[in-house]
Amino acid sequence: MLPIVNIAAYKFVPLADLDSRRDFLRELTRSLDIKGTILLTPEGINLFLAGSRESIDQFLSTLREDPQLADIEVKESLSADQPFERMLVKLKQEIIAFGIEGIEPRTYTSRKLPARELQQWLRERDDVVLYDVRNDYEVEVGTFTGAVPAGIDHFRDFPEAVAQLPEEYKQRPIVMFCTGGIRCEKAGPFMEQAGFQEIYQLEGGILKYFEECGSEHYTGDCFVFDKRVALTPALDEAPTALCYACLHPVSVEEQQSPDYNPPRSCPHCYQTAQEKMQRLCDDRNAAIAKVCNPLPGSTPYDNVRPISIPLRLDRHTLGDALREMYPHIPLEELQQLAAAGQLVHKDASVTLDRIVRAGERYGRLFPAQVEPPVSAGIQVIYEDNALIVVSKPAPLPMHPCGRFNRNSLEWILKQVYQPAKPRPAHRLDANTTGVVVLTKSRQVAARLQPQFERDEVEKVYLARVVGHPTWDEQTCDEPISRESQNFGGRTVDPDGLPASTHARVLERLSDGTTLLEVRPKTGRTNQIRVHLW
C-alpha cells in the first residue's frame, strides 16, 4: 500500500483569531511531520496536506474538534512519495481571489450536483453545458469530454470570460467544475447574478468524480498543485511533468520533443535565439515608448548642468574658478546668476566668494526648462550582455547638449536601462537617421570606442538625395570646416579637417530622387550631407 496520504479540503465559514489559529496549526503539523499548505482567511479555510495515515487521521481528528470545522469534507489520494517540500500556514483575505463584491459562499452557493448524478446526466441528456472554470494550462492536462473551457490564465479573469458566453446558455443547464470545487463556490453565484438561470456546481470537483465514477466522460488527467503535477482518473500520479522554466504542465508526448530541456525549456516556452532577441527588443521598445509619452523634456523641469572643479583651481573662489573655466562669460553675468540662485552646490544656492575644492561638483541651474520637440521613435534592434544597437530617428540628439538634455538618445536610454548607463560608441548627427551602437559598461566602451575612432568599424548608410547624379560611383575627399557656420552646419573648407566619403548609386527613382549607398571613411560632423551637397 502506498505510504503517503494526500488530502484536500476547504470550508467557507467565518473565522476569527487567525494569528492564534496559525500558531496552533503550525505546531500541530510540525509535531505530526505533515507537509503542504493551509490558507486561513476571514471567510474560511483551504488546505492541501500530505503525511502518513496515522498523522493525517490525527490531524483531521484535532481539526474537527473545532465546532466550526467539525463537518469539513476531505478528498483523499495516495502516493509513494511526499509531494510537498515544506509546511506553510498562511493568512490571506480570501480563500480564492476573485475580487467581486457581494459573493459570499458561506451564506449562499449554487446548487451542488453529486458526481453520480452528473454521470447519469451525461449518459442520458444532451442539453447540459459542462463549463470548465480552471486556467487554460490545467484544462490542457485533461477535462470532461465536450466541456467548454473558460479560456483564462487566472481566476480573476473569470467575470470577463462569462461575459463572452453565448446568450442562449442563460436558459440551459450549466454544470461548472474545477479541481476540488472551491472555485465553483464563487463562480456559481456570480453566474447567477449575471443572468444564468440554471447553474450547478460539481460537488467535490473533478477529484470527487474520479473517486466515484472513474474516467467515464473524462479525457486525460487532472492537474494538481503539488509535485505530482497531475492525477489519473484512478487517482494515481500521472506521468505529466512540470516545466520549471514556465511552470506549464508537459505531457508524455511533449517530453519527447527536442524543445524539452529541463529545467531550461519545454515546447510551451522554448524560443529560438531569434525569437528571444525579438521578444527582448519588443520589451525594450515598449519601455522606451512609455518613457517618451510624453516627451521627457516637454514638461517644465529644473535642469542643472554640472561644473566640476579641477585640481588647478583648488581653494580658489567660485567666481575666480568660473572666470578661469569659462572666460567667454562676463563677470556681470556670473553675478546675475549667483544673485538669482542659479549657481548651486548639492541643491543649495552658493555665492561667488565661496572657496571651492578640487573634485567638487557645482551646477548651473536652468529653472522650468522646456526642450524643443524631437522624434522619439527609437527602436532597439539588437542587444546582448555587452552591446545595445538601436535605430535612431531624426531629429534626435545623441547626447545632452545645448537646448537638449532629457530629449536626447542617451538620457532616454538611461531611464530604460537603469542602473546601467548605455554609452554611445560613436557619433551620429541629430538630424541623421541611422544605427547607433552603445555599450553597457565602461570596460566594453574602453575597447569599442577606440575602434570607431581608428575607423576599424565600417559604417554603411542609405541616403536619398534630390536629383540624378551623372556618376554611378565616386569618392569625395573635400575637407570639412572645424566649426559650425552661421546656418548651424558645416561646409567644405580647404583649411578644414580631412574627410572622405564613398557613394554608389543604387537606384534612380522616377520622382527625381536617387537612392545611394554611402560609406564614410572618416567621421566628421555633417560629413555625408556636405559631401553629397
476 in active site: no
- Alpha-carbon distances, residue 459 vs 302, 396, 406, 471 (angstroms): 38, 19, 27, 22
Pairing of strands 173-177, 198-202: parallel
Phi-psi region of 295 (alpha: psi -120 to 50; beta: other; left: phi over 0): beta
Report the SS3 class of residue 92.
coil
Closest CA to 242 of 136, 88, 135, 138: 138
The residue from 178, 184, 222, 476 that is catalytic is 178
Dig out the grid coordinates for 333 from the structure: 553675468
Pairing of strands 35-41, 44-51: antiparallel
Helix, strand, coil percentages for the chain (3-state, nearest 5): 30, 30, 45
Q: What number of H helices and E strands is found in the chain? A: 13, 28
Q: d(Cα 189, Cα 186) in Å, to the nearest integer?
A: 6
In the DSSP assignment, the letter for residue 370 is: -
Q: d(Cα 493, Cα 183) in Å, to the nearest integer?
A: 79
In the DSSP assignment, the letter for residue 105 is: T
Q: d(Cα 57, Cα 396) in Å, to the nearest integer?
A: 72
Report the SS3 class of residue 410.
helix
* Positions marked catalytic: 178
